[in-house]
């Protein structure tokens, strides 16, 4: 397999600020928001695009995305010298549409939710010759690309905490852990109440469930159901997994905490994972299921769908407060 050079090795820094609040555990932050595309997705999508160009000589990239996957596809296409079309749902902010265009993408708006958008993208691919369809999360090469995140960890963690939408990052991280022989390192998959498709399938012991609608400020988590491969991972019990569901308010408060203590903006989808170390309920969950000691790695998955004004508006809408963090 060719080497994917479209992503960078991101830093994994210890957060002494968050560690103080979690007791004797140490919190480490894998800063995937520093990728060129702004999220971890360039790892997997970059690998898929580069390998498809090398092996299949594709002439165009078509992606369906609420933002982060589209930006990764656009960044990959730019690096590879290919044109790219990105289909986004109506809920995608104008800010993100402009970001996609600035990366060279032709942007098409279709559908109220991602599933409708994806169907449209597939129709276009079927009529195209030489086009590569890039799914936001459901492809083995995407998972393999995401697995490189684990290769960059210097030592075995006590657990990895990440956000989950369709399950691509989760599948990649588990693949990376298995490859390194860290088969007993649990993964905590976090999502918001209004997008809890992983929790629905997890609580059904891996029987694939479809939630009726997406109702959350964390639009990047907006998959009505996880991939079949993700459901199979749950059913197989091949790796220790935990499901954690937070509120929108908790996710936004985590964003405020991260902005205050680490001076970086991240989006609500990323805030879902951060709630495991910022909220009392999240910290209690880690202590109960992971233990009182050890290194907890939180994947800071991305920060594209956010601006300072958007963060203030999200805080207002959800009732989130950052006062306790600003007093530190």
Average pLDDT over all residues of the chain: 93
SS3 88: strand
Same domain assignment for residues 210 and 163: yes
pLDDT of residue 67: 82
pLDDT per residue as tens digits for the range 110-153: 998 777 888 999 999 999 889 999 999 999 999 999 999 999 99
Q: Please give the residue that has the higher pLDDT: either 276 or 219.
A: 276
Say yes or no to pLDDT of 323 above 80.
no
SS3 289: helix
Same domain assignment for residues 199 and 89: no
What is the mean predicted confidence (pLDDT) over 221-246? 95
What is the mean predicted confidence (pLDDT) over 97-110? 93
Structure-token pair, residue 205: 């012991």
Same domain assignment for residues 34 and 44: no
What is the mean predicted confidence (pLDDT) over 311-316? 95
Domain end residue (candidates: 84, 115, 134): 134
Domain end residue (candidates: 134, 149, 176): 134
The β-bridge relationship of strands 131-134 and 60-64 is parallel
Cα 82 to chain centroid distance, Å, stands at: 25
Question: What's the pTM value of the predicted model, to 2 decimals?
Answer: 0.93
The total of structural domains in the chain comes to 2
pLDDT per residue as tens digits for the range 39-68: 999 999 999 999 999 988 999 999 998 688
> How does DSSP classify residue 105?
P
pLDDT of residue 5: 73
Domain residues for 34? 12-39+139-318
Say yes or no to pLDDT of 4 above 50.
no
What is the mean predicted confidence (pLDDT) over 304-308? 87
Same domain assignment for residues 129 and 202: no
Task: Say how far apart CA 106 and CA 74 lie, in whole Å.
Answer: 9
What is the mean predicted confidence (pLDDT) over 302-313? 88
Residue 189 β-bridge partners: 162, 243
* Cβ count within 10 A of residue 314: 22
Which CB contacts under 8 angstroms, 24+ apart, belong to 205-212?
205/234, 205/235, 206/231, 206/232, 206/233, 206/234, 206/235, 206/236, 207/231, 207/235
Does residue 215 fall inside a structural domain?
Answer: yes
Distances (CA, A) of 297 to 124, 221, 281, 287: 40, 20, 18, 14
């Amino acid at each position: 397999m060719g080497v994917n050079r479209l992503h960078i090795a991101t830093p994994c820094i210890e957060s002494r600020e968050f560690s103080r609040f979690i007791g004797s555990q140490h919190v480490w932050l894998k800063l995937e928001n520093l990728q060129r595309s702004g999220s971890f997705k360039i790892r997997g999508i970059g690998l898929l695009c580069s390998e498809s160009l090398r092996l299949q000589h594709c002439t165009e990239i078509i992606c369906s995305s609420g933002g982060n996957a589209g930006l990764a596809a656009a960044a990959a296409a730019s690096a590879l010298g290919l044109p790219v079309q990105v289909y986004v749902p109506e809920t995608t902010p104008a800010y993100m549409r402009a970001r996609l265009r600035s990366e060279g993408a032709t942007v098409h708006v279709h559908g109220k939710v991602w599933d409708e958008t994806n169907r449209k993208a597939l129709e276009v691919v079927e009529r195209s010759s030489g086009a590569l369809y890039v799914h936001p999360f459901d492809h083995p090469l995407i998972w393999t690309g995401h697995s490189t995140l684990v290769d960059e960890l210097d030592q075995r963690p006590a657990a990895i905490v990440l956000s989950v939408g369709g399950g691509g990052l989760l599948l990649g991280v588990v693949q990376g852990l298995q490859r390194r022989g860290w088969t007993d390192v649990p993964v905590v998959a976090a999502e918001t109440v209004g997008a809890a498709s992983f929790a629905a399938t997890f609580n059904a012991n891996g029987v694939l469930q479809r939630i009726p609608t997406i109702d959350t400020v964390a639009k990047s988590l907006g998959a009505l159901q996880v991939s079949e491969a993700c459901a199979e991972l749950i059913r197989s019990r091949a790796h220790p997994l935990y499901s954690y569901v937070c509120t929108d308010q908790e996710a936004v408060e985590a964003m405020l905490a991260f902005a205050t203590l680490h001076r970086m903006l991240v989006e609500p989808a990323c805030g879902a994972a951060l709630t495991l170390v910022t909220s009392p309920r999240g910290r209690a969950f880690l202590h109960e299921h992971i233990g009182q000691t050890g290194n907890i790695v939180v994947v800071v998955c991305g920060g594209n769908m956010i601006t300072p004004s958007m963060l203030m508006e999200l805080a207002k809408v959800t009732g989130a407060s950052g006062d306790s963090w600003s007093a530190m």
